[in-house]
């Protein structure tokens, strides 16, 4: 019997009900599958398989009946469609991979499956994770459940829309230049990008290998802590960029992480840095108002606000859009109609097959980035563009370390505006690129960062507060966000009718 309140439960609450046997995993899975069918017009999902999901749920119930109490056992989730999966097709939002079936699961997928989580399906995304609005998907755009005429952000837009609309309790996402944090901000949910290398990239369809990182998207910091604990950990045999660091139980960090915090001031002793470059004319007034109100709440909790500077912030956009397309050009060269992906039906010779297969398989934005990347890596331009961008990238990382000598966490807006209308920036890719101005620099530095619901702006659309930590300080970020969420209810708000 379906329980109408199940979709309003957090991951932690649902896990507790499953552990107490008050609800079964099959019942929860059926409930969410029903909601996915009812809200198909949001475009959040690209693939579901009810039989596969229910088989996983029955296996989880058997483990629960046997006394297994793994923290995430039986909880449903869905995966961004850049993680390969055996039981569901993987397209990366592209016609190039239409109907592709992987013979193995991505490490992130297999780790969460080992925890007993039930996969509900695959979530929509910008093609090969290239975009800021999810309107670059080759199949259909995902819609923001707060206003279905607006984007949910990208590239993890399907993940964000599904969590915000209560179609799933949580989802996986990937963040190359802000693709977890920005959609989380635009849809009013919580998302965290861990330190580069914390989560294995094995089985993640590659966009930019030195930037791509997996992370969880859920309603709260508590839920993200539970998910990240299950996702993160070393994978040295299969991912050369994986960190040789043991798995961490991030739930243990959900207490005050300051110096001598009290119940009244749990963040006492925590220094929060405010980069002057994040609070200038480029950020809309409604976003700044919500962010400053959130910062005032953090002050009430005992934190101290200090001014810091990240002078190379403006250069993060040109640096990112040299490095990321260069890596994309290399990574996507394998999709040629021979080794992987779509092959044209008609062609005259091998060269013609390459051209037609790639032209038919890739969308405009992917083609644009491949061409840019090939250009900056070509003879005569490598030193002028790619090498110089890598040098500036190191300087951007050094800027952050100088700032962290004055503070513990850096805070500011996630996106300069609230969600925009679907198609509004389709003809102006540079305008779309500018939406990532506050997230790109920390990605280039490989730092952990998260988005926390912080209020609403123009049109009643959500605004996120960005928290950036030093390397391996995900626990401190989650702790700070958790204390903020215990004092506010922004993360509990949901779109009307959901």
One of 25, 80, 159, 229 is an active-site residue; which one? Answer: 80
Query: Catalytic residue at 357?
Result: no
- How far is 152 from 203, CA to CA, in rounded Å? 25
DSSP letter assigned to residue 387: I
Counted residue by residue, the chain has a size of 498
Question: What single DSSP character describes residue 250?
Answer: G
Residue ranges with strand state E in 292-358: 304-308
Neighbours of 391 (CB within 10 A): 10
Rounded Cα–Cα distance for residues 460 and 386 (Å): 41
20 assigned to active site: no
Q: Write down the catalytic residue from 179, 415, 441, 451.
A: 179
Q: How far is CA 306 from CA 264, 267, 276, 316, 481, in A?
A: 21, 14, 10, 23, 18
Distances (CA, A) of 477 to 192, 250, 467, 498: 9, 10, 7, 29
Please give the full DSSP string across 487-498, using - where no structure is assigned: H--GGG---TT-
CB count within 10 Å of CB 237 equals 9
Please report which residue ranges of 39-87 form alpha helices under DSSP H.
Answer: 50-65
Q: Are 291 and 278 in contact (CB under 8 A)?
A: no
137 is catalytic: no
List the Cα angle 476/223/196 in 5-degree steps. 50
Cis? peptide before 155, omega within 30° of 0: yes
CA distance 347 to 351: 9
Phi, psi of 251 (to 5 degrees): -65, -25
Catalytic hit among 110, 137, 155, 432: 155
Angstrom distance (rounded) from CA 341 to CA 339 = 7
Active-site positions read 80, 155, 179
């Amino acid at each position: 019997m379906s329980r109408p309140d199940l979709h309003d439960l957090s991951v932690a609450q649902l896990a507790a009900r499953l552990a107490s046997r008050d609800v079964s995993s099959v019942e929860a899975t059926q409930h969410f599958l029903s909601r996915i069918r009812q809200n198909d017009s949001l475009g959040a999902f690209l693939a579901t398989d009810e039989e596969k999901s229910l088989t996983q749920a029955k296996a989880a119930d058997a483990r629960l009946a046997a006394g297994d109490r793994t923290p995430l056992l039986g909880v449903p989730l869905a995966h961004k469609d850049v993680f390969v999966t055996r039981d569901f097709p993987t397209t990366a939002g592209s016609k190039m991979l239409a109907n592709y079936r992987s013979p193995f699961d991505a490490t992130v997928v297999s780790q969460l499956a080992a925890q007993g989580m039930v996969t509900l399906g695959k979530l929509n995304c910008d093609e090969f994770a290239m975009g800021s609005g999810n309107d670059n998907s080759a199949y259909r755009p995902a819609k923001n459940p707060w206003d279905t005429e607006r984007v949910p952000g990208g590239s993890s837009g399907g993940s964000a829309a599904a969590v915000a609309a209560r179609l799933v309790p949580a989802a996986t996402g990937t963040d190359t230049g802000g693709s977890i944090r920005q959609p989380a901000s635009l849809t009013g949910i919580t998302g965290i990008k861990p330190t580069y290398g914390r989560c294995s990239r094995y089985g993640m369809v590659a966009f930019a290998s030195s930037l791509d990182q997996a992370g969880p998207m859920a309603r709260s910091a508590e839920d993200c802590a539970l998910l990240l604990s299950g996702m993160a950990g070393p994978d040295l045999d299969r991912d050369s960029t994986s960190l040789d660091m043991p798995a961490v139980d991030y739930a243990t960090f959900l207490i005050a992480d300051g110096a001598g915090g009290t119940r009244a001031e749990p963040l006492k002793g925590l220094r929060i840095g405010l980069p002057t470059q994040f609070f200038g004319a480029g950020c809309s007034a409604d976003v700044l108002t919500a962010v400053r109100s959130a910062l005032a709440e953090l002050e009430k909790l005992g934190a101290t606000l200090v001014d810091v500077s990240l002078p190379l912030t403006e250069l993060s956009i040109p640096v990112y859009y040299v490095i990321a397309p260069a890596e994309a050009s290399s990574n996507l060269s394998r999709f040629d109609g021979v080794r992987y992906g779509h092959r044209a039906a008609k062609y005259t010779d091998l060269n013609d097959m390459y051209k037609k297969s790639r032209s038919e398989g890739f969308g405009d934005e992917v083609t644009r980035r491949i061409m840019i990347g090939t250009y900056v890596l070509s003879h005569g331009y490598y030193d002028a563009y790619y090498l110089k961008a890598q040098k500036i990238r190191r300087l951007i990382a050094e800027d952050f370390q100088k700032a962290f000598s004055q503070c513990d966490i850096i805070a500011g807006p996630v996106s300069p505006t609230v969600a925009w209308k679907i198609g509004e920036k389709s003809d102006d890719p540079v305008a779309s690129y500018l939406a990532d101005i506050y997230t790109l620099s920390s990605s280039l530095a490989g730092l952990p960062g998260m988005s926390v619901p912080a209020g609403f702006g123009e049109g009643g659309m959500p605004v996120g507060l960005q928290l950036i930590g030093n390397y391996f300080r995900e626990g401190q970020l989650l702790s700070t966000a958790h204390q903020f969420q215990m004092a506010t209810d922004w993360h509990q708000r949901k779109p009307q009718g959901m």
